[in-house]
Amino acid sequence: MTEIFKRETIFEAADVLREGGIVAFPTETVYGLGAAANNQKAVERVFEVKGRPQDNPLIVHVDHPDTVKQFVEVGAEVQQLIDTFWPGPLTVIFPYEGDAFSPSISAGQPTVSFRMPDNADTLALIEAVGFPLVGPSANKSGKPSPTSLEHVLHDFDGEIEGVLESSEPAFDIGVESTVIYPIESEIVILRPGAITKQMLEVVTDLPVYEKTAKDQLSGKQAVYSPGVKYTHYSPKQPVYMVSYGTSLERVAEWIKTQQGRIGLLADNDWLTDFEEVAATYSLGEAGDIQSATRELYAGLRYLEQQDIDVILVQGFDENEENAHAVMNRLSKASNFVI
């Protein structure tokens, strides 16, 4: 059985991690699958229990911004971003040629990624361990990421040593962090998240560009960011995403053509319009992108457990910057677009 650790038993959880165990931890984004970042066997086991490809890099989680300076050089512009957004959902990739971490972390690339999560329990856990932790999302690879302790146990009960239960509200963001790579006097966004291009531009004088997964996978260039190369976030049923702007009449016609039972993941207005479906999960009020982003994974996991044959998901306007993260995950989760 996987042990549940609480704030008062954090030192016990830290002992487990120092001894090479795996303890999942809460953040403001999703649960992370924690292991000591300098323990090669523990890191290899993270890849194994997740079923994660070895060429998919991991993020190193720290408990203080200054920790990063022990391992890499931090320029003035990047330091300004760290000062502004840490703790928080921003991952920064740095050039790295040291040997302080498990070599598996960087997936063969001369880089290492750092993030400081915004959760007091997890920061206390990292401090108690005395060394940074890796923390890929605590789900089986390819499945929706976990935004609750129950999600973690569903995927890993009996396979990992522990899960740290948050003593404070967590998962306000609900999707993985924004990943940036500062290179050659510019900031490149490799994975969209809650920290948007506009937010970065306000803080730095460097130009900020967003690179799509398609752009990153074209040619022979290396992939430095997690969450780019492989299919993610998919439940067992096929997922159909409705393109933004599609009329409700067109959606109603599509529903009528389906022979199987349909689960609908959408805002409250849509749920009212399509009451005939077999199961529903609300993304929140119409127009509330923050709520939709936060509820996405929980909704996919909930509907996966229902007696349905397909999942129909409402799409959002990709021209809205704060919708980039949810649409990035929806695109990866979807098998078809209507």
pLDDT tens sequence across 34-77 = 999 999 999 999 999 999 999 899 999 999 999 999 999 999 99
Q: How far does CA 266 lie from the centroid of its chain?
A: 20
Q: How many residues does the chain have?
A: 338
With beta carbons less than 8 A apart as the criterion, state whether 240 and 257 touch: no
For residue range 179-188, list pLDDT tens digits in order. Answer: 999 988 899 9
The per-residue pLDDT for 282 is 98
Whether the ω angle into residue 87 lies within 30 degrees of 0, i.e. cis, is yes
Average the pLDDT over 271-293 and give the result. 96
For residue range 2-14, list pLDDT tens digits in order. Answer: 999 999 999 999 9
The per-residue pLDDT for 287 is 94
For residue range 117-139, list pLDDT tens digits in order. Answer: 999 999 999 999 999 999 999 99
Would you state the structure tokens that stand for residue 131, as one six-digit string? 């060394």
Whose structure tokens read 């398609």? Answer: 214
The per-residue pLDDT for 71 is 97
H/E stretch holding 134: strand 133-134
Whose structure tokens read 């300004």? Answer: 80
Cα–Cα distance, 144 to 263 (Å, whole number): 16
CB count within 10 Å of CB 255 equals: 15
Average the pLDDT over 86-93 and give the result. 98
- List all residues 6 or more positions away from 329 whose beta carbon is below 8 Å from its beta carbon: 175, 232, 233, 296, 297
The per-residue pLDDT for 212 is 65
Cα–Cα distance, 14 to 22 (Å, whole number): 10
DSSP type of residue 165: P
pLDDT at residue 220 tops 70: no
pLDDT at residue 103 tops 90: yes
- List all residues 6 or more positions away from 198 whose beta carbon is below 8 Å from its beta carbon: 321
